């Protein structure tokens, strides 16, 4: 049996699967059941659409999300919960486009040398 993708028994709103980039990569590489990352059945665009649909559904709330990533410049660009340091629309952090967020974080990090930006974003 597979865990539910949304609803009260699903992953919470702070889980890695609520990050669109993670979810889209997982969907692309694993859905429908039985496919592999070497031979995906979905196009990249379809995987992103499915992931956005899944991530937009209701799910349990994780307490104290505002304490995740104390260094906001190291927060993943697709973290779907604030606070954010870049001044961009919270919806953009959830659904993209993500490159303007990367650019804003890079610019902010250049002005804050003690806090380098994350380099492991896809």
Residues 11, 4: Cα–Cα separation, whole Å: 8
Pair (76, 101) in one structural domain: yes
Left, alpha or beta for 21 (phi > 0: left; psi -120 to 50: alpha)?
A: alpha
The answer to the question of residue 98 being in a domain is yes
Q: How far apart are the first and last CA of the chain?
A: 30
The answer to the question of residue 64 being in a domain is no
Q: What are the distances in angstroms from CA 106 to CA 11, 28, 82, 83, 93? A: 30, 28, 18, 17, 15
Q: Are 59 and 10 in contact (CB under 8 A)?
A: yes
Instruction: Quote the domain boundaries for residue 42.
Output: 16-55
Pair (73, 49) in one structural domain: no
- What is the tally of structural domains in the chain? 2
Q: What is the pLDDT of residues 14-71, one digit of tens each?
A: 999 999 999 999 999 999 988 988 999 999 999 999 999 999 999 999 999 999 999 9
Pair (45, 76) in one structural domain: no
Tokens read off for 39? 């031979």
The answer to the question of residue 23 being in a domain is yes
% pLDDT > 90, the chain: 84
Asked whether residue 114 carries a pLDDT value surpassing 80, the answer given is no
The answer to the question of residue 100 being in a domain is yes
Mean pLDDT of the 115-120 span: 62
Asked whether residue 122 carries a pLDDT value surpassing 90, the answer given is no
The answer to the question of residue 74 being in a domain is yes
């Amino acid at each position: 049996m597979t865990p539910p993708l949304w609803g009260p028994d699903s992953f919470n709103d702070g889980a890695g699967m609520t990050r669109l980039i993670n979810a889209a990569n997982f969907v692309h590489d694993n859905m429908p059941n039985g496919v592999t990352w070497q031979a995906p059945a979905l196009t990249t665009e379809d995987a992103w659409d499915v992931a956005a649909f899944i991530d937009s559904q209701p799910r349990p709330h994780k307490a104290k999300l505002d304490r995740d990533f104390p260094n906001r410049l190291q927060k993943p660009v697709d973290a779907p919960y604030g606070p954010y340091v870049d001044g961009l629309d919270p919806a953009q952090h959830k659904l993209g486009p993500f490159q303007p967020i990367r650019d804003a974080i890079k610019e902010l990090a250049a002005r804050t040398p003690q806090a380098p930006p994350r380099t492991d974003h896809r």
